[in-house]
Structure 1
Amino acid sequence: MATILHITQENFEEEVVNASKPVLLDYWADWCGPCRMLSPTIEELAQEYCGKIRVGKINIDEQPTLALLHRVVSIPTVSIYSEGKEVKRLIGLRDKPELVEAIQEVLKK
C-alpha cells in the first residue's frame, strides 16, 4: 500500500529535495472544491506508481510559508520534483491522463 506523505516546512528537504525518486506534490486546502475532486486521483496515482515515485500533499493553510516559497498562487497545484528540483507544474484541476503523462515524462528522463 502506497503512503501519501504529509509534507511540511520541517520535512520538505528530507522528503522532497533529498528524495531518491521523483516526488509528486499536491498543494491543496480543505475549502477548495477542485482540490477535493483531485484527491482521489492523487491517491490512485500513489497506488499505481508505488515504488516508482513518492507522493506528498501540502495543505497550504497549514504550510503557508511553503506555498509562498514555491510560488503557489492557485490551487490545486501539482508539482513534480526530480533530483531535488521542480521539473513539472500543473495548475488547476487536471484529469488523470494528463497527470499520468506528466509522471511518465519525468520517469523517462
Structure 2
Amino acid sequence: MKGDFNKIVNGKTPVLVDFHAEWCGPCKAQSPIIKELAKEVNGKVRIIKIDIDKNQAIAQRYGVRGVPTLALFKEGKIVWRQSGVQSKAQLVGIIAQHT
C-alpha cells in the first residue's frame, strides 16, 4: 500500500477499498471489474487495493474476515461494505448513492 491509508480514506474524495489476497480465486475475478470501474468513475471516487496479507493491521482494524471485501469510505467513515464478488453495475449504483 503506497501512501498513508488513514490520510487517503479521510480525504474529501470517496474511496472504494478492495480488500483482497493473492491466493484468493474470487479476488482474481473481482480485479478486472475493479479496473473497468476505475475507468468509469475516474475522479468521482478513488479506488485502492489492500492486500490483507501485506496489510494485516488495516484488515484487522476493519474486521475483514473474508475476501474480497469491498468498502466505500466517505470522509473516514464506511458508508457501504460487502463481501464477495460484486458486479460493475452494482458498484456503479452504490457509488452513485454515496457521491
Question: One fold, TM greater than 0.5?
Answer: yes
* TM-score, normalization by structure 2: 0.94
Residue number in structure 1 paired with 2:26: 34
Structure 1 residue ranges without an equivalent (≥5): 1-5
RMSD: 1.2
Distance in 1 separating the partners of 2:90 and 2:72: 13
How many residues are treated as equivalent by the alignment? 99
Structure 2 residue ranges without an equivalent (≥5): none
Which structure 1 residue ranges, 4+ long, deviate > 2 Å from structure 2? Answer: none
Distance in 1 separating the partners of 2:83 and 2:97: 17
Residue number in structure 1 paired with 2:89: 97
**Are 1:87 and 2:64 matched, yes or no?**
no
Identity over aligned residues, as a percent? 40
Distance in 2 separating the partners of 1:98 and 1:52: 16
Residue number in structure 1 paired with 2:50: 58
Residue type of the alignment partner of 2:9: V
Distance in 2 separating the partners of 1:79 and 1:35: 14
Residue type of the alignment partner of 2:18: D
